């Protein structure tokens, strides 16, 4: 399970473009 990796990637994407944070969260879930 790469949950830790996905969480880190989600946080990284959130910091770069928080307008798409919901998209990335749903995509990785």
Q: Is the pLDDT of residue 5 over 80?
A: yes
The predicted structure's pLDDT at residue 10: 77
The predicted structure's pLDDT at residue 2: 79
pLDDT digits 0-9 by tens, 11-28: 777 766 655 556 666 666
Is residue 13 within 8 Å of residue 21, measured between CB atoms? yes
d(CA 2, CA 20): 21
d(CA 29, CA 8): 13
29 vs 11, residue with greater confidence: 11
The predicted structure's pLDDT at residue 11: 78
Q: Is the pLDDT of residue 4 over 80?
A: yes
Report the predicted TM-score, pTM, of the whole model to 2 decimal places: 0.40
List CB contacts of 25: < 8 A, sequence separation 6 or more: 10
């Amino acid at each position: 399970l790469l949950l830790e990796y996905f969480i880190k990637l989600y946080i990284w994407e959130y910091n770069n473009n928080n307008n798409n944070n919901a998209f990335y969260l749903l995509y990785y879930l």
